[in-house]
Amino acid sequence: MNQSPVDLFWSSLWPIVRGAITGTIPLALVSFTIGLLLALVLALMRLASSRWLSGLARAYISVVRGTPLLVQLFVIFYGLPSVGVVINPWPSAAIAFSLNVGGYAAEVIRAAILSVPRGQWEAAYMIGMSHRRALTRIILPQAARVSVPPLSNTFISLVKDTSLASLILVTDLFREAQQAAAFSQKFMLLYLEAALVYWVICLVLSTVQGSLEKRLDRYVAH
């Protein structure tokens, strides 16, 4: 049935938004959470006195940052089955995005930790704190405030990058737009609609980021 552009826009809006709610946003949240934990481990490895640990983390970060995310996604979903490891589309996407976020966010966290004045470490040691306790109680909370803006940008970029998951048949925002476009043959309209929904999501996230930065800024001495 032929629909006017306006009717098609509104009839396809809910499936696209539903794809964002059930696919894009959960995938981004899960991948970012796992990637952030991985990034923290990698950052601490980079700062370790052991050359072996530091070198291993440096090599991982170099590989992740030096190869396209799409290639990483395809290696996991299409490459691993050739060696007997078969992973379903959604977990494959989550693994690929998590590993990618880990590589990029690790350098952000490392730089944030290094930005904390050395005197903070010395003060913690003077009151009897161990290295681990000083790190978790004194250093990381301060580093978290510094890392919020770049990590927020990383998350916003990840939300957009999840559109690549549609290439391995993950049902997300962009996959819903692709299916609607293929059915209606109105590719320009549907892809612009998908872009609009991505933009609205990122606009909301940017607003939340700005509010969070202002809130944290209250606790920073100027």
CATH of the domain at 11: 1.10.3720.10
Domain of residue 171, residue span? 5-217
The answer to whether residue 117 is domain-embedded is: yes
pLDDT of 136: 80
> Tell me, what's the pLDDT at 1?
53
Q: b/e map of 53-82 (b: 16 or more CB within 10 Å)? A: eeeebbebbeebeeeebeebbbebbeeeee
CA angle 114, 115, 120 (to 5 degrees): 85
Residues of the chain with pLDDT under 50: 221-222
Of 135, 128, 174, the closest CA to residue 47 belongs to 135
The answer to whether the CB of 194 falls within 8 A of the CB of 172 is no
Q: How many domains does the chain have?
A: 1
> What φ, ψ does residue 173 adopt, rounded to 5°?
-55, -50
Q: Residue 50 falls within a domain, yes or no? A: yes
Q: Determine, yes or no, domain membership for 113.
A: yes
Question: Which pLDDT score is estimated for 89?
Answer: 95
Instruction: Indicate whether 222 belongs to any domain.
Output: no
Instruction: Say if 208 falls within a structural domain.
Output: yes
Question: pTM for this one?
Answer: 0.89
Residue 59 lies in a domain: yes
Whether residue 191 is contained in a domain is answered as yes
* pLDDT, position 60: 96
Instruction: Decide if 103 is inside a domain.
Output: yes
What percentage of the chain carries pLDDT values higher than 90?
Answer: 66
pLDDT at 212: 81
Classify 142 as helix, strand or coil.
helix
Report pLDDT for 221.
Answer: 44
